[in-house]
């Protein structure tokens, strides 16, 4: 059955070690001062990879029903809608914060 996947201990440790490594990596890249805006891109990419690893292997989405995967993706999509459409306003205002 889906949802009853049992990971081996070795596998779970492997997942954790890769996460530890990526954490180290994301700190390490700040030492070489990548110019704007690529520093943000790199940081977010690494965070997204880490989040994907957690979701796929710790939260068992890899073996889970497709619908749960869809739910997870949908929440991200709607978050992006919230941010994206709000930025359509805030980035293109004449006066960023209206002064009172």
Partner 1 sequence: MATNDESKNVRKLQVKRFKPEENPEKHYLNQEKGLWAWMTTVDHKKIGLMYLGSITFFFFIAGVLALLLRTELLTPARSFMDADMYNQVFTLHGAIMIFFFLVPSVPTVLGNFILPLQLGAKDVAFPRLNLASYYIYVVGALFTLFAIFTGGIDTGWTFYTPYSSSAAGGNIMAMTFGIFILGFSSILTGVNFLVTIHKMRSPGITWNKLPLNLWGLYATSIIQILATPVLAITLLLLTMERMLSIGIFDPAIGGDPVLYQHFFWFYSHPAVYIMIVPGFGIISEVISTFSRKVIFGYWAIALSSLAIAFIGFLVWGHHMFTAGQSSLANMVFSFLTFLVGIPTGIKIFNWLATMYKGSIDLKTPMIYALVFLFLFTIGGFTGIMLGALAVDIHLHDTYYVVAHFHYVMMGGMVMAFLAGLHYWWPKMFGKMYSEFWAKITCAIIFIGFNMTFLPQFVMGSQGMPRRYFNYIDQFQSFHQFSTIGAYIMGVGFLIMAAYMIHSLVKGKPASSNPWGSRALEWQTSSPVPLHNFEHTPVIINGPYDYHKPMSEFQLGITASQHAHHADKPVDISTQEKEQA
Partner 2 sequence: MSQPSSVEEKLDHLQHHFIDSDQQFEASKLGMWIFLVTEILFFGGLFAAYIVYRAWYPELYLLASEELDVFWGTVNTFVLIGSSLTVAMAIRSAQLNQIRGLIINLWITIGLALTFMVIKYFEYVEKFEKGILPGAHYSYEGIAHEKANIFFSIYYMMTGLHGIHVLIGIGLMIWLVFKAKKKVFHSGYYTPVEITGLYWHLVDVIWIFLFPLLYLID
> What residues line the site for partner 1 (CB under 8 A)?
1, 4, 67, 74-75, 78, 81-82, 85-86, 88-94, 96-100
Torsion of CA 87, 91, 95, 100, to 10 degrees: 30
CA distance 33 to 29: 7
Which residues, numbered 38-77, are part of the site for partner 2 (CB under 8 A)? 39, 43-44, 46-47, 50-51, 54-55, 58-59, 64-65, 67-68, 71-72, 74-76
Using an 8 Å Cβ cutoff, are 49 and 15 in contact? no
- 13-20, long-range: CB < 8 A, 24+ apart: 15/53, 15/57, 15/58, 18/53, 19/50, 19/53, 19/54
Name the residue nearer to partner 1 (CB basis): 32 or 97.
97
| Number of chain positions touching partner 2 (CB under 8 A) | 49
CA distance 46 to 52: 10
* Interface positions with partner 2 (CB under 8 A): 1-4, 6-7, 9, 12-13, 15-16, 19-20, 23, 26-27, 30, 33, 36, 39, 43-44, 46-47, 50-51, 54-55, 58-59, 64-65, 67-68, 71-72, 74-76, 78-79, 82-83, 86-87, 90-91, 96-97
């Amino acid at each position: 059955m889906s949802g009853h996947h049992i990971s081996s201990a070795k596998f779970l440790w492997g997942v954790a070690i890769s996460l530890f490594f990526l954490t180290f990596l994301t700190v390490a890249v700040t030492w070489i001062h990548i110019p704007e805006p690529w520093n943000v891109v790199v940081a977010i990419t690494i965070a997204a990879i880490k989040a994907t690893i957690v979701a796929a292997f710790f939260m068992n989405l890899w073996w889970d029903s497709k619908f749960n995967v869809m739910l997870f993706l949908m929440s991200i999509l709607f978050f992006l809608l919230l941010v994206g459409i709000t930025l359509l306003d805030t980035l293109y205002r004449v006066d960023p914060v209206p002064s009172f």
